[in-house]
Amino acid sequence: MARHEEELARELRRRGYSRRDVLRIGLQLGLGAASMGMLLAACGSSEPAAEPAAEPAAEPAKESIFDINSGNSGNWPKSAVADPGSKVEISVGHTWDAVFFERQLQFDKLFMERHPNIVVKAENTPWGEFRQKYTAAAAGNALPDLLYTQFSWAQETIRSGMYIALDDYIAKEADFNFDDFTKPSLVSYQYDGKLWGIPYDEGPGNLYYNKDIFDAAGEAYPDDTWDLEKLKQVAIKLTSGEGPNKIFGLGELPSPGDSLMAPNYLFPFGAQYLSEPKEDQCLINTPEAVTAMEWWEELRTKGAVPSPADLQNVAWPAFQFGKIAMTLQGSWATPPIAAGSKFNWDIAKWPKGPKAHSTFSAGSAYMITRDSKNVDAAWIYMNEYLSTAGQTYMWASTGRGSPSRLSAWPAYLGSEFAPPGAKNVEEAMSKGIGTHDIIDQPTGPRVTQAAGPIWDLVVAGQKSVKEALDEVFAAVDPIIAENRG
C-alpha cells in the first residue's frame, strides 16, 4: 500500500470510521482490490496498528532551539465562540520542516493548557507528499479540521469546495481587525466576496548570503547599491573549486515551473510570464522574456549554480550546508538555516534590475475544511493561532518573519533568531519592492506542471532558451484560455 494510503488508513482508524465508510471512501478514491483490502484491514482492527518510525513524535524534541515560553505574551484573544463543554479533538494538517514543527508542538501544548476541552492532533507531512495526501483525503471526505494551504493552490482548492467561508465567524470577533493584515497577504484567499483562509505570513524574496565566503574572497557584502549585474559578477567571482568542495556563487536560477519566478527574474528586465492579475495571457516567449532568461542562464554556463545532481542528497534549503554564497529565499527559510548552518550569514534585499526593483511577495494560510466535525473548536484554535499573539509566538519570536499581521512585525525585528538584516525583509514589503503579482489563479498548478518539464531540458542542455520558451507558451496558452472569460 502506498504511503499516502497508509496515512489515510491511520487517520480513518483514529477518527472511528466504520468499515462501510471506509469502503465508500476507497471506492471514491478508485483504489484497487489489494489496497482496499489493506485499508479495510487496517481500519477494522480492534487494536491500533503500530505507527511507523517516520511519524513525527508526539512531543517537542528535547533539544528544541526555541524556549517554550519565549513569545508567550499571554495576550490571547477572547473568542466570541464558547469553548466546548466536554472534550473534543481537532486535527490540524501542517507541512513544517523538523526545526519548526518543534515550535508547532510547543504552541499546541500551551493552547491545550488554555483550552483543556480541546485536544489538538498535529499532523506533519513532508512538503513533497502534502498535496497528494490531502487530495486523497478530500476525495474520501476525510480532511482534518484545519489545513495548511499555500497561495499557489489556494484558489484551486477553495473553488473545489474543500473549505468553509470564515466571514460569519470573523464578524463575531470584535478585535479581529482586518486592517492589521498586510494587503498582499489576503489576496490569494478571497473568492466570491468571501474570505476562506487566514494567512499567517506574506513575505518577500530575500538575498541570503554566506558572510564567510564573502570574507574569504575579500568581497564586500550585498547592500542597497547592488543591481543584478553586480549580483551576476559577484556570483561568478565567488564560484570556485571542484567536486564536493565546490563553492557556488548562486543557489538557483529561474524556471517557468516556479509560480514565484516573474517578480524576481523577469519584472526587473521589463518582462512578464503571465499577465497579472487575470493571468489570461502568456508572455513568456516575448523578446524581453527570452532576453531575460538567457541573461540568467549565463550563470549556468559559467558553472556558478549547482546542478540538480549537485543538490540530489541535500535537504532544503541547500544554502545551510555552506557551499553556496548567495541564495534567493523567503524569510521562512530562516529557522532551518539558523539551526543547520555553521557559518556567519545575513539577509539583503533582492537587487534592482535595469527596468524595475522587484521581488516576489507570497505566503500561506490555514483553512477550516468542510469535513471538520468540530468547527467551533477549530475556529477557536485558528483565531488564537493567527492572532497577533499567535503570530508573535510562531513566526515573529522565532525569527521566521513576514507575519501577515502588521502588529507582529516589531517582535520579528527584535527576535534573537532574526538576522541583523531582518530590516531588509520589512523594507521590501513596506517600500513596495515585494509584489504579489505571482501565479495564483486556479490554473496556476497546471501552468507550472506543464512548464517545468520543458524547462528541465534547458537545464540538461538539450534545448535552447528560446526553443523551450516557445514550447512553454504552446503548453500554457490553452490552459489559461479559461481565464479569458
**Each residue of 359-381: pLDDT tens digit?**
999 999 999 999 999 999 999 99
Average pLDDT on 4-27 reads 50
What whole-number distance in Å separates Cα of residue 399 and Cα of residue 414? 9
What is the predicted pLDDT for the residue at 398? 94
Per the structure block, which three cell numbers stand in for 274? 503571465
What is the predicted pLDDT for the residue at 30? 45
What is the predicted pLDDT for the residue at 64? 79
* pLDDT > 50? residue 223: yes
Query: Over pLDDT 70: what percentage of the chain?
Result: 87
* pLDDT > 50? residue 33: no
The per-residue pLDDT for range 379-393, each reduced to its tens digit, is: 999 999 999 999 999
What whole-number distance in Å separates Cα of residue 241 and Cα of residue 237? 12
Specify the higher pLDDT residue, 42 or 357: 357
What whole-number distance in Å separates Cα of residue 143 and Cα of residue 16? 14
Residue 190, in any domain of the structure = no
Residue 263, in any domain of the structure = yes
E strand spans, 266-415: 324-330, 345-349, 359-368
Q: Which amino acid is at 305?
A: V
Contact between 329 and 317 under an 8 Å Cβ cutoff? The reply is yes
Q: Which amino acid is at 438?
A: I
> Which helix (H) or strand (E) segment is 208 a member of?
strand 198-210
Contact between 214 and 238 under an 8 Å Cβ cutoff? The reply is yes
Q: Return the C-alpha torsion angle 403, 406, 407, 413, nearest 10.
A: 60
Residue 252, in any domain of the structure = yes
The per-residue pLDDT for range 414-433, each reduced to its tens digit, is: 999 999 999 999 999 999 99
What is the predicted pLDDT for the residue at 40? 52
Residue 340, in any domain of the structure = yes
* pLDDT > 60? residue 42: no
Closest CA relative to residue 421, chosen from 305, 299, 337: 337
Could you tell me how far CA 282 lies from the centroid of its own chain? 25
* pLDDT > 50? residue 317: yes
Residues 6+ apart with CB under 8 A from 397: 66, 70, 71, 411, 412, 415, 417
CATH of the domain at 221: 3.40.190.10
Average pLDDT on 124-140 reads 96
What is the predicted pLDDT for the residue at 27? 47
Residue 199, in any domain of the structure = no
Total structural domains within the chain: 2
Residue 90, in any domain of the structure = no
Average pLDDT on 1-18 reads 49
What whole-number distance in Å separates Cα of residue 35 and Cα of residue 47? 20
* pLDDT > 80? residue 39: no
Q: Return the C-alpha torsion angle 221, 222, 224, 227, nearest 10.
A: 140
Helix 3-14 × helix 19-29 angle, to 10°: 150
Please return the burial class of 420, using the count of CB atoms within 10 Å of its CB with bins 0-12, 13-18 and 19+.
exposed
* pLDDT > 80? residue 165: yes
Residue 178, in any domain of the structure = no
What is the predicted pLDDT for the residue at 453? 97
Regarding beta strands 146-150 and 194-195, do their DSSP bridges make them parallel or antiparallel, or are they unpaired?
Answer: unpaired
What is the predicted pLDDT for the residue at 19? 52
Residue 389, in any domain of the structure = no
Average pLDDT on 269-292 reads 98
What whole-number distance in Å separates Cα of residue 437 and Cα of residue 87? 44
Average pLDDT on 168-196 reads 96
Specify the higher pLDDT residue, 110 or 49: 110
* pLDDT > 60? residue 2: no
* pLDDT > 70? residue 48: no
* pLDDT > 70? residue 103: yes
The per-residue pLDDT for range 234-275, each reduced to its tens digit, is: 999 999 999 989 999 999 999 999 999 999 999 999 999 999
Q: Read off φ and ψ for residue 211, nearest 5 degrees.
A: -65, -30
Write down how long the chain is.
485
Give the domain range for residue 278.
205-361+432-441+454-484
Average pLDDT on 426-442 reads 95
